[in-house]
Chain A
Amino acid sequence: MISFRRTRAMARKEFLHILRDSRSLYLALMLPVVQLILFGYALSLDVDRIPILLFDQDRSPQSREMLAQFRGSRFFTVLGDIESYQPGEYAITSGTAMAVLVVPRRFGEDLAAGKQVPVQLLLDGSDSNTASIALGYARAMVAGYSNQLRTEYQIRNGAGEIKPPVDPQIRVMFNSELKSKNYIVPGLIAVILMILASMLTSLAIAREWENGTMEELLSTPVRASELALGKLSAYFILGALDTVTIVLAGVYFFGVPLRGSALVLGISAGIFLFGAMSWGLMLSAITRNQLQANQLGLLSSFLPAFLLSGFVYAIDSMPALPRFMTYIVPARYFVAMMKGVFLKGVGMELLWGEGLLLLLYATVVFVILTRKLRQKIA
């Protein structure tokens, strides 16, 4: 049976270490907030102010009217007007402009004659996502102008005003303003906590080995599970403190809506921290070399939490093997839960699956951790 007294002694000792080591304490408390504020401020996926060049070959009232819509749009920044294709092509190649809109000759004339007229959009497709969105904006603007012309034409020709027969009412749920911050910040919180967990635990063990106190500890009657739990609980308190600070920073500093229950958020963050910290401790228990454990810890926390968690890249679109790998990335479950609680306002009734898998992950890692520690103690 686990002795509560020994576990508590272990935790208290660990906690004293943390309090005395002001540099690490400072690092552990400040770093997550600083990171969240820096990256939360810096990173955005909003597509607006797309740099565009206009090439008006017609210079008719109609062409000017259409281009005026682009000039006034917040989605586009008109860099200038060009007189030939060449500067436009160069601007796209060098990356100064993302798009060039070309209005052909006889644009106004043909429109007045009731003809179908093409305009051309040259687009830098290398950043496919931005390009898709830019293309959507351009299409919508051209279509809007086109409809307006059509209606005018029909009225002029006595057909009466005809509204478009189908009018789509599009409602964006959960993030109605389509602000990328609203999903970047919850995702960042998961990535930052993952890094913190791995860093704290690897420091914890490295110190014991460096000071030679690990051998000392291993010779006492303390059991593997007590050792693990004791260490974990001390760092857990620190991690919990961090979680509260960065969630508050996310909500009050970045204005990310917290629609769901803070309790559900707290519970999922708790399980997540426990799992992530056990993972860090486990790495230092299975690698002989502390430096390796440290490197592995950082490698296995940051990039997977960023790339395999569904934070930026949707898990749905991954091929089978990487998708399978996401199941061993705890950030995957946590990101889903964070998004659910923050943006959707859903609770455990929908998130229990993720919660359970996260708990399973934490348990499995903890069991491996105590096993490996026991082997060392024996």
Chain B
Amino acid sequence: MNFERIREIIVKELRQSFREPRTRALMFIPPIIQFLVFGFVVNLDVERSKLAWYDQDNSPASRELRASFESSEYFIVTNTPSNPAELQDLMDRESVHSGVVVPPGFAEDLARGRSTRIQMLVEGTNSNTASILVNYASDIVRTYSSGRMVDLITQKRMARGGQIAKMQAPGIDLQQRVWFNPELKSRNYFIPGVAVNIITIVTLMLTAMAIVREKEIGTMEQLMVTPIKPIELMLGKTLPFAVVGLFDLTLIVILGILVFRIPFAGNAFLLLGASILFLFTTLGVGILISTVSNTQQQANLSTFFFFQPAFMLSGFAFPIRSMPEPVQWLTMVNPLRYFVEICRGVFLKGSGFDVLWPQFAALAVFGFCIITFSALRFHKRLD
């Protein structure tokens, strides 16, 4: 390998990319805008969910139950329909996410110690949000119910002439200790993934054009008659964009911490190391696409056909754990998957190399293979 030749390619690429203010801006502004927009979007938190309260009883007891819904941070009562059709309509229009129907005689049943039923309707189109709502609502009702039950037992005992003191009853209390993301903010989980995907697009698009553009304008033929080696060309074409990608990534990480208040629990240098490895994999894929494409149009489409499944199967939005097993194996060859895992580990868990080394190893192997493969695939011949 001749480092002078690699350097010449790098200098040339930098000159070509940075000369025009427009192309210069294109390397930094779109990723940041995308990050800001998508960063605000990726939120699955269930809070202040709209609830319709259809109270057929309208008693102090039902109002008490409503108050315990409203005092939780998960529900706000936005509508109080007065008949079932109105409730149904609210649900159909998605004006509310759930509805509670308190039956007539609710307070009376409670007072007489009869078990009473309330009905809850939950909009289930998004199954996960619905599950979470169901959990919250069950919790609220359970708490309310236990309180009532203790009152009831006390009443019974008093009626039998027992002591006034509340009766003891066994119970198990689940105390959760949530690690890494104690407030359970979904944004903390998704934003590292957004960063990974944006960097992937930028770097893929930059390099996918790198070689095919020269093929189209004819300069590639001129390069092919020079003594340059394929690997020198590959490295010369990827290194400058690795620097651009790293710069973009740094900006995005800083924005993530400052704007979105993502906790950064881990080691910045570890993240830097992983970023460098990762950039070589995406740049390698870009270069490979560029090598096998004949026109920029083809390169562009191929980039997209790599990116789309890589994005979907990265574990960013859809957990890999929930995929069918054959697809889980498929994700093993997806470099995005490993980098998403590393980012989440470093950001949220503060994981170190001792935990993340398999992901590092996978990225290194992938990056090495793909760049070597493109160098082998690149012939200095026209046929």
Contacts and interface: CB of A to CB of B under 8 A. Distances in A.
A321 B40 contact: yes
A360 interface: no
A162 B135 CA distance: 23
A339 interface: yes
B118 A183 contact: no
Contacts of A130: 319
Contact of A45 (B186, B304, B319): B319
Contact of B44 (A128, A138, A143, A321): A128
Contact of A318 (B43, B131, B317, B355): B43
Given A307-B41, A317-B45, A173 B122 contact: yes
Contacts of A112: 170
Interface of B: 34, 37-38, 40-46, 65, 91-94, 110, 113, 115-132, 134-139, 141-142, 144-146, 148-149, 152-153, 156-157, 167-182, 184-186, 188-189, 197, 201, 205, 209, 296-297, 300-301, 304, 307-309, 311-313, 317-319, 321-324, 327, 330, 341, 344-345, 348-349, 351, 355
Contact of A168 (B129, B137, B301): B137
Nearest to B344: A126
B297 A294 contact: yes
Interface residues on A, range: 35 or more
A303 interface: yes
B134 A166 contact: no
Interface string A169-181: 1111111101110
B46 A132 contact: yes
A3 interface: no
A92 B179 contact: yes
Contact of A170 (B116, B134, B311): B134
Contacts of A121: 174-177
30 contacts: A39-B312, A46-B127, A66-B172, A93-B349, A111-B172, A119-B174, A123-B178, A123-B179, A130-B319, A132-B132, A136-B131, A142-B174, A143-B142, A159-B167, A164-B142, A167-B115, A169-B117, A170-B120, A173-B122, A176-B124, A180-B127, A182-B127, A183-B126, A291-B297, A294-B300, A298-B304, A302-B311, A308-B41, A313-B42, A343-B124
A243 to B, nearest CB: 19
Interface in A164-221: 164-176, 178-180, 182-183, 195, 199, 203, 206
Contacts of A302: 304, 307-308, 311
A150 B170 contact: yes
A56 to B, nearest CB: 14
Contacts of A163: 115
B41 A178 contact: no
A114 B355 CA distance: 43
Given A116-B171, A298-B300, A123 B177 contact: yes
User: Which of A131, A142, A153, A290 counts the most chain B CB atoms within 10 A?
Assistant: A131
Interface string A321-359: 110010000000000100100011010001000000000
A42 B113 contact: no
Contacts of A168: 117-120, 137-138, 141
A93 B308 CA distance: 29
Contact of B119 (A139, A169, A313, A322): A169
B40 A172 contact: no
